[in-house]
């Protein structure tokens, strides 16, 4: 845990950026009947009946110190989607970086094996040398700042009926573009010293 918190306190280094990564499932829901539009004295109204359109995933990379994020919408969450997200970080967004520290949970798809299963051995090795996995502890995914950013995305953009992937991606991308334009970030104040005080029982169990 403290390793993650120490990362967040480091000054910005363009050669060794810290990027937080996570995925979120999204249920696609459409209207069976057209909503009644707004009019003076009445808000827009929706029928309680709805139509399920399946499940998709939002994958987000978030650099807190840069106030930058990227998201993509995919049909699945496999090693391939993870590997492609990491390659975009290395080749498109941080081509000059020597080492990219990526904070993520310890999911089975979040491993170097994903690189070798989807790219050539040479390309996978190059990527593995530049991407450093910084795993949050078990039951400690709340330490990943991208979860805060995804929560903002849900509240401001996704907490409504979106019938298909195309519309969800269009709306989420517009949200992402605006957040990047204003350089929005997360005001993270939880430090290692706070953890030792507020999670003292956890530290005590680690010593036994």
pLDDT at residue 193 above 90? no
Output the pLDDT for position 189.
86
Output the pLDDT for position 32.
54
Q: Quick one: CA dihedral 158, 162, 165, 166, positive or negative?
A: negative
In this prediction, residues 108-125 reach a mean pLDDT of 96
State pTM to two decimals.
0.85
Output the pLDDT for position 78.
96
- Region for residue 183 given its phi and psi (left: phi exceeds 0; alpha: psi -120 to 50; beta: otherwise): left
Which of 28-32, 52-56, 67-71, 136-140 shows the lowest per-residue confidence on average (mean pLDDT)? 28-32
- How crowded is residue 118: how many other Cβ atoms within 10 Å of its Cβ? 18
Question: What Å distances lie between residue 80 and 17, 73, 120, 132, 153, CA to CA?
Answer: 23, 13, 13, 18, 24
Tell me the two tokens of residue 65. 């110190």
CATH class (in words) of the domain with range 2-207: alpha beta
Q: Where is pLDDT greater, at 177 or 196?
A: 177
């Amino acid at each position: 845990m403290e390793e993650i918190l120490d990362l967040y306190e480091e000054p910005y280094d363009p050669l060794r950026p810290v990027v937080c990564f996570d995925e979120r499932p999204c249920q696609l829901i459409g209207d069976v009947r057209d909503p009644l539009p707004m009019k003076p004295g009445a808000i827009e109204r929706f029928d309680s009946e709805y139509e399920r359109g399946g499940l998709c995933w939002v994958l987000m990379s978030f650099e807190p110190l840069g106030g930058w994020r990227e998201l993509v919408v995919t049909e699945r969450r496999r090693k391939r989607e993870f590997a492609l997200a990491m390659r975009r970080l290395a080749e498109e967004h941080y081509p000059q970086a020597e080492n990219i520290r990526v904070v993520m949970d310890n999911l089975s798809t979040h491993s170097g094996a994903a690189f070798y299963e989807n790219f050539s051995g040479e390309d996978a090795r190059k990527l593995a040398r530049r991407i450093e996995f910084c795993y949050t502890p078990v039951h400690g995914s709340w330490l990943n700042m991208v979860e805060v950013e995804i929560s903002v995305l849900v509240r401001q953009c996704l907490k409504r009926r979106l019938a298909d992937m195309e519309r969800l991606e269009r709306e989420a991308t517009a949200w992402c573009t605006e957040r990047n334009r204003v350089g929005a970030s997360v005001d993270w104040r939880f430090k290692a010293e706070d953890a030792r005080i507020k999670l003292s029982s956890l530290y005590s169990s680690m010593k036994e």
